[in-house]
A and B are shown apart, each in its own frame.
Chain A
């Protein structure tokens, strides 16, 4: 565990009844990067991220985030921003209510940042979250996660249900935030195309195992002209056990 690691899992496993959603997962995610976590549906991406933000407790193994146990206390909770799958918001509360909630629940809340982002997005603060489009709701959820000024931002398939334009806007918002605030980002998706534009580090997770991990730049240099998508899909293939990455 070094200061360069934002997320470290060791033999991490989570069981629901008899089914293992994640088993014996070991990985290390570097700091200061926008990390794309890619893998097929059911690879354990959501479980891994929920363990990392403390929404779930591990059945086996350990997970450490920014050097601490995830979600154990308000301090640790404040260091990690999380946008859950389907970017939930309270449908009956307005946009302004959500920002107030962020201020009430987070000591490190950056009100100026939150209001600036909402204004920039052109959202009406009086609008109820239930009336927002999917893209707007995702942006609201991202604003909540960013304005608490975390050191690490974790996003679980944030663009999965968005149209292509909203996807592009959301991904560039993430790139902008990472550049502006120097926050580390871990972002999951099952579509490489979503990540290609903004991620500079990729982790391919298949059936709880890391098949490929590395800086996008290095991976592309070693791949000899093949696209990132080809490379990733190559490693998702069950017949290929990541030998190429080691070569």
Chain B
């Protein structure tokens, strides 16, 4: 049965191996240059005495290739689910070949278990090797960016879990839908939904976050607000956590910062009412005291002075509360994510086995 599975799968396996080889060659060719450039940047900035902005700038270099590699690791599991998982059983139904293979001297339970094991193992292997290559290649950029949680799903072991899950999802969808193309569509939709829900809904709740209390910094606190799809999804899943005032994000390398809120000693959040009462005039002349961002029109000096005075005044009763996951938990999160997705894959696989037996 293993030989038949391999015979039916070898073309797909060859395509995947070719794609992996191309990625590996590209990474091997460009990787050492990137590492040398990072070493040179560190060397230069150490002599100049300012490494923060130099590494931040370095983290943004080579963004096209970095983005492509990241997207590849993100979407490879979806492709595995749609092109390996969904057709695995659906094609047998569609082509009417299941009566042929189910009446050979191999029980259909064994038939399915072997198929799940062989192609599932290949899925994990492809995702793992791809992630390994991209993680290795991105090391200089990741060190410079110092935000490991930002590239969480594109590095290390988490993609293996995604690939296993996507594959099992595809098989289950193929069994229920019994047609290849609709099963592929169902797989993609369900996989993306699951990824978004776990990234924004489940992952932040896996482990209780830590807290750190900082004094309000009048130089970097303002009314500023950011906007991105990721922030929107985050507030949709976890509720908006912004206070009336927005302190600048503290420098905590590789930490995952959930929120920076302005609270008093008893933990009550600064409200608009309190803010208006304490500083009636702020916000009149524009944004606030946050450091100038490229492309933004800096607030007038008078407005910034008013904000500074206001924040100093509030600093007597209010402080900044940072809710975060420390960098040291990164691998705990990685293994937890792998366990959650691999566990879901096993449940789906077991459901497929139960289903195929029930028909006997």
The residues of A that contact B251 with a CB separation of less than 8 Å are none
> By the criterion CB–CB under 8 Å, are B360 and A74 in contact?
no
Please measure, in the bound complex, the distance between the C-alpha atom of A67 and the C-alpha atom of B96, giving whole angstroms: 28
Binary contact track A101-128/B, C-beta < 8 Å → 1, others 0: 1101111100000000000000000000
Determine whether the beta carbon of A144 is less than 8 Å from that of B359: no
Instruction: Number of A interface residues at 8 Å Cβ cutoff, please give it.
Output: 38
Contact with B along A49-63 (1 / 0, CB 8 A): 010011111000000
The stretch of B98-106, B161-169, B299-307 in contact with A is: B98-106
Q: B7 touching A100 by the CB < 8 A rule?
A: yes
Contacts of B235 in A (CB 8 A): none
User: Contacting B99 at CB < 8 Å: which of A84, A100, A102, A107?
Assistant: A84
Contact of B95 with A by CB under 8 A: yes
Of A75-83, A176-184, A206-214, A239-247, the segment with at least 4 beta carbons within 8 Å of chain B is A75-83
* CB-based contact A55/B100 at 8 Å: no
CA distance A141 to B100 in the complex (A): 8
**B101 neighbours in A (Cβ, 8 Å):** 101, 105
Q: Chain B residues near A56 (CB, 8 Å)?
A: 359
Residues of A within 8 A of B107 (CB): 71-74, 77
Verify if A97 is at the interface (C-beta below 8 Å from B): yes
B78-97 Cβ-contact flags toward A at 8 Å (1 or 0): 00000000000000000111
Q: Which residue of B lies closest to A79 (CB)?
A: B105
A104/B1 in contact, CB under 8 A? yes
Complex contact A106–B360 (CB within 8 A): no
Distance to closest chain A CB from B236 (angstroms)? 40
Q: Which residue of B lies closest to A86 (CB)?
A: B96
Q: Which of B97, B104, B359 has the most CB of A within 10 A?
A: B104
Which positions 78-99 of chain A face chain B at CB distance < 8 Å?
78, 80-82, 84-86, 88-93, 97
User: Which of A57, A77, A89 has a CB less than 8 Å from the CB of B104?
Assistant: A77
A91 to B105, CA, bound (A): 21
**From B8, B96, B100, B105, contact of A106 by CB (8 A):** B105
* Least CB distance, B217 to chain A, in whole angstroms: 66
Contacts of B105 in A (CB 8 A): 74-75, 77-78, 105-108, 148
How many angstroms between the C-alpha atoms of A144 and B99 in the bound complex? 12
CA of A77 to CA of B102, assembled, Å: 9
Q: How far is the CA of A85 from the CA of B134 in the complex (A)?
A: 49
* A-side contacts of B96, CB under 8 Å: 84, 86, 88
Write the residues of chain B forming the contact surface with A, with a CB cutoff of 8 angstroms: 1, 3-4, 7-8, 11, 95-107, 358-360
**18 A-B pairs, CB-CB below 8 angstroms?**
A55-B99, A55-B103, A57-B359, A73-B107, A74-B107, A78-B105, A82-B99, A84-B96, A84-B100, A88-B95, A89-B97, A90-B95, A90-B97, A92-B11, A100-B3, A101-B7, A101-B101, A108-B105
Extra contacts, 16 of them, besides A71-B102, A84-B96 (Cβ < 8 A), are A55-B103, A57-B359, A57-B360, A71-B360, A86-B96, A88-B95, A88-B96, A88-B99, A89-B97, A90-B100, A91-B95, A97-B7, A101-B4, A102-B104, A105-B105, A106-B104
